[in-house]
Structure 1
């Protein structure tokens, strides 16, 4: 299967090239030349498989230049052993008689859903590099709003032939997220804070990627850039797997009958996680509605309702920081699909976004969008109220991002009466945001030390703090650098010794 750029449909590369390169040289994102299909019989067969086996089947459909043995090694390396709690990467948790189920994506080594992709990506990238850029050292550039950074650092830690640089907004991540990154071990890792928000980090990384002079300078030092953000197809592809797997689990648990539709709710900022669900539906997964949940940065809600994407608005720093985003990179892939793969039109929209901070999609695209997607949002007060209600009613403790999704889902049901069985993507362990979660449960604020708060939260809720977070306060901080958004290139050069 070939992959093409959203800004130049005539450009064709293999999956290995798309993964190794990360982003097209024209600034576009790589998408499959065609979406492979799965039938109900295929899904029935997947129901009898383990998560690893399901992953192998889906990966083979997209990575046609990989051998079966390579795919098996990648899947087993990512999801096997003891990397995921109880050997279950993506378990479902039924919430009372609500009709919704938590797809818990935070049982990996960094306690966030990014592990589902970033435990696999290093394997995919290593094989892709051997096939396409043998002999070169890969420099992974990452912009993070909190979870991607740590998951990427952990995934690529000491991976031979790679170096990884992570930029995060100085005041835009939780204290726990920051400590996870700044204490990261490994001889090939580097972390730096940026004076700005996530969009500044993401914009800076993308500009470095697409700067031809920088690319040539790297080539002169036998280096090549790649990405661990969801702009890289190798990051997005693994996320398709867990939606298909969740459907299989619902069938196995007799919660639905094979062929029944389900709804999917995703708390999202960069649009990658919900886009993966969209691709799963395009493959043949029975999905009725995608419910896109936003926090106070409700640009996606407004876009779904109006067709106008306008970044000229106030930016909010919230208690769900991984969603504090105004430029949703992966939306470009959806627009490309909804436009009928009109690369010229997508280039015009992205140019307008860069120069004017906004664009408006065609009426027929908006109609297609609204047929499948529903947008909703909630502020911090509603987020905390949802955490408290969910715990008091069902003894289920969730994080601040998952709570946004639950609130938006509840609003959707009240407005529509839709009782379709629903899967909510639960994206992080609540102990990654202990201060906000504890305040929600107790109804008051107080102690600032997140580890003191975590122990109190554990006693209060009779839940356990996950092991990967337990010893963070005893680890030495390795990275305390801060740079301006205009000097990110210099930081990269200094780290690489250029």
Structure 2
């Protein structure tokens, strides 16, 4: 199977590339992305068979169905990265908290966020491809808090790879910041920027398309790629855990073959929700994918009205910083799947030129067949955190948004994206606790939840700051260029 460019002009022949090409060079024509134009279908009989498998074998079975050009042995080695999770045999616990309500806990990896589920194997694959081609790559990532630590961790000291991570200097939690600025690895560079995540992401996209920047890299024998979910290699692994959750509900007889489920996803850049949509296209009986935003509720507006409008919008800092995003890159892949490459280019061109686009009524109805959307305020999230703390269950501020849309006639899976230890101040406030400092706060929360603070988190408070740089947006290109020449 090949991947297709998401943007095209009328009469243009669509470019299709192998997965290995899309991983190493994720940007397609006209500033677009790559996405599948068709999907393998899993029958009811195959779902029953898949439900018997542990996560690693399940993942390999799903990947094999796509018939990508990368060898099975490479994927097999990549999947072994899940052995570094809390439970290598079950890296994604599916926890029941009510009769028809489950939480898919995606945060049991090395950096305590769902990004590890995709980035741990992705790092292994990309490094393998670079070594096979005997080429060197600069991997860029922009982060609102979770992608950065996960990217740095997966590529630390990887052969043929250098990594630059961009993060908003005042737009992440303190633990997220420390995870990035203290990350060890001679091939890593973390840069704080004076701006928000959208500034970091727009800079990344512009550098991916910057011929002058690429020429500078070429002089240092470096090619350019990205670890954000603009890279389909990330999305591939995000399909799997949604499909696995559905298969487990079937296996446990929670649902029958003819029953549908809902999946609730806290959404910023939309990659996690897109993975659920692709799982649905592959045959998982998902009725609605429920998109929950925080105060930056541009996706709520889009899914309810068909209007994507950046005009006059300003990013709001919330207690769920990984969702503080206005420009959701992966919406483009949804537009491509629903309406094709020509219409996608029209819409994305409108967004770039006018900071606005609007779907037709028919197009909006097509979107609403699969999606519902709402948003939760910080105060609402704090109430959910407090409510479940009384029940002895810890939910972080991102997962908390999901409870706004958890009620349904269908069995529902909440997608839990991060461990509570990454957001101590918000957790303390919600639980009406005070602390001397963040470390003290984590210990008080651990006592409340009868859990232990992971050593990898506790050790951050005594770790050496290795990446102190904070620069203006217009200084990023020169900062990276200077670093790669050293």
Q: For the superposition of Structure 1 and Structure 2, which TM-score range results when normalised by the shorter chain?
A: over 0.9
Provide the C-alpha distance between the structure 2 equivalents of 1:86 and 1:141, rounded to a whole number of angstroms.
Answer: 28
Do 2:78 and 2:120's aligned partners in 1 also have CA atoms closer than 8 Å? no
Where do 5+ consecutive residues of structure 1 fail to align? none
1:487 alignment partner, SS class: helix
Q: Kindly state the Cα deviation for residue 257 of structure 1 after the two structures are TM-superposed.
A: 2.0
1:319 alignment partner, SS class: coil
Q: What aligned pairs does 1:182-221 form with structure 2 within 5 A after superposition? A: 182-221=181-220
User: 1:80-109 deviations in whole A, cap 9, x for unaligned?
Assistant: 3x3333642111010033x21000000000
Aligned to 1:122: 123
Do 1:139 and 1:164's aligned partners in 2 also have CA atoms closer than 8 Å? yes
Q: Does 1:456 align with 2:444?
A: yes
Number of residues of Structure 1 aligned to a counterpart in Structure 2 = 481
Provide the C-alpha distance between the structure 1 equivalents of 2:286 and 2:125, rounded to a whole number of angstroms.
Answer: 28
Q: Kindly state the Cα deviation for residue 67 of structure 1 after the two structures are TM-superposed.
A: 2.3
Give the one of 89, 92, 104 matched to 2:91: 89
Q: Kindly state the Cα deviation for residue 118 of structure 1 after the two structures are TM-superposed.
A: 0.6
Aligned to 1:435: 425
Do 2:289 and 2:372's aligned partners in 1 also have CA atoms closer than 8 Å? yes
Aligned to 2:78: 74
Scaled by the length of structure 2, the TM-score of the pair is 0.96
Do 1:401 and 1:428's aligned partners in 2 also have CA atoms closer than 8 Å? yes
Scaled by the length of structure 1, the TM-score of the pair is 0.94
Aligned to 1:403: 400
User: 1:313-362 deviations in whole A, cap 9, x for unaligned?
Assistant: 232100000000000000000011111x1x22222221221222111122
Where do 5+ consecutive residues of structure 2 fail to align? none
Aligned to 2:387: 389
Q: What aligned pairs does 1:151-170 form with structure 2 within 5 A after superposition? A: 151-170=150-169
User: 1:376-400 deviations in whole A, cap 9, x for unaligned?
Assistant: 10111111011111222x3211000
Do 1:26 and 1:210's aligned partners in 2 also have CA atoms closer than 8 Å? no
1:280 alignment partner, SS class: helix
Q: Does 1:467 align with 2:477?
A: no
Q: Kindly state the Cα deviation for residue 63 of structure 1 after the two structures are TM-superposed.
A: 4.8
Q: Kindly state the Cα deviation for residue 254 of structure 1 after the two structures are TM-superposed.
A: 2.2
Aligned to 1:346: 344
Aligned to 2:323: 323
Give the one of 407, 422, 425 matched to 2:412: 422
Change (3 A) 1:33 1:281: same
Which segment drifts farther, 139-148 or 3-12? 3-12
2:247 alignment partner, SS class: helix
Q: What aligned pairs does 1:170-185 form with structure 2 within 5 A after superposition? A: 170-185=169-184
Q: Kindly state the Cα deviation for residue 74 of structure 1 after the two structures are TM-superposed.
A: 2.1
User: 1:44-68 deviations in whole A, cap 9, x for unaligned?
Assistant: 1111111000110111223521222
CA RMSD of aligned residues (A): 1.5
Give the one of 462, 475, 484 matched to 2:472: 484
Change (3 A) 1:14 1:484: same
Provide the C-alpha distance between the structure 2 equivalents of 1:237 and 1:86, rounded to a whole number of angstroms.
Answer: 20
Change (3 A) 1:405 1:93: same
Q: Kindly state the Cα deviation for residue 130 of structure 1 after the two structures are TM-superposed.
A: 5.0
Provide the C-alpha distance between the structure 2 equivalents of 1:454 and 1:327, rounded to a whole number of angstroms.
Answer: 32
2:98 alignment partner, SS class: coil
Do 2:94 and 2:105's aligned partners in 1 also have CA atoms closer than 8 Å? yes
